[in-house]
Amino acid sequence: MNGMAWVRVGAACGALAVAAGAFGAHWLKKTLEPPDLVTFETGVRYQMYHALALLGLGLLATVAPAGPALRAAGWSFVVGIGLFSGSLYGVALGGPHWLVFATPVGGVAFLVGWVALAVAATRAAPRPSV
């Protein structure tokens, strides 16, 4: 994907995070137990963090070649949002218990994404001339 495609993905993930947050604050607040609401809000928060990371990644890709590290970072953030935030949403809403096993896998995907983004940014950095 090119840089602006990643910006669009990040914007969509951010919009969905705002919608989920509003859903949690206005509707789920009345129906969920406090620990479940905290779990849901954690999913929203991490989704928004990584939506913003996707925006930054997309902007980086507009000024630097989108190499394999940058693509790995983007896809890792997307997979992390799906597994980490998605599993927390499911657990909070009373989904099957096995969803808890997806949460740490999503967390690892986030970590891989941040490392890959650091590698991509290092490769994209201008080299000092001697």
pTM of the shown model: 0.92
Residue 114 is predicted with a pLDDT of 98
Residue 110 is predicted with a pLDDT of 98
Residue 127 is predicted with a pLDDT of 67
**Residue 69: both structure tokens together:** 């590290």
pLDDT, tens digit only, all 130 positions of the chain: 889 999 999 999 999 999 999 999 999 988 999 999 999 999 999 999 999 999 999 999 998 877 899 999 999 999 999 999 999 999 999 999 899 999 999 999 999 999 999 999 988 766 666 6
Residues 80, 119, 116: CA angle, nearest 5 degrees: 15
Lookup result for tokens 């919009």? 15
**Residue 82: both structure tokens together:** 């799906």
Give the type of residue at 23: F
Residue 19 is predicted with a pLDDT of 98
